Amino acid sequence: MDNVGIVFDDLEAAIAFFVELGMELEGKAQIEGLWADRAVGLDGVRSDIAMMRTPDGHGRLELAKYRTPAAIGAERENPAPNTLGLHRVMFTVDDIDDVLARLRPHGAELLGEPAQYEDSHRLCYVRGPEGIIVGLAEQLR
In CATH, the number for domain 4-68 is: 3.10.180.10
Q: Is the pLDDT of residue 20 over 70?
A: yes
pLDDT digits (tens, 9 = 90+) for 69-82: 988 876 666 666 66
pLDDT attached to residue 51: 97
pLDDT attached to residue 76: 63
Averaged pLDDT, 106-123: 92
Mean predicted lDDT score pLDDT of the chain: 90
Class of domain 88-139: alpha beta
pLDDT attached to residue 26: 96
Q: Is the pLDDT of residue 110 over 80?
A: yes
- Domain locations in the chain as residue ranges: 4-68, 88-139
Partners of residue 137 on adjacent β-strands? 92, 123
pLDDT attached to residue 75: 66
Same CATH topology for 4-68 and 88-139: the answer is: yes
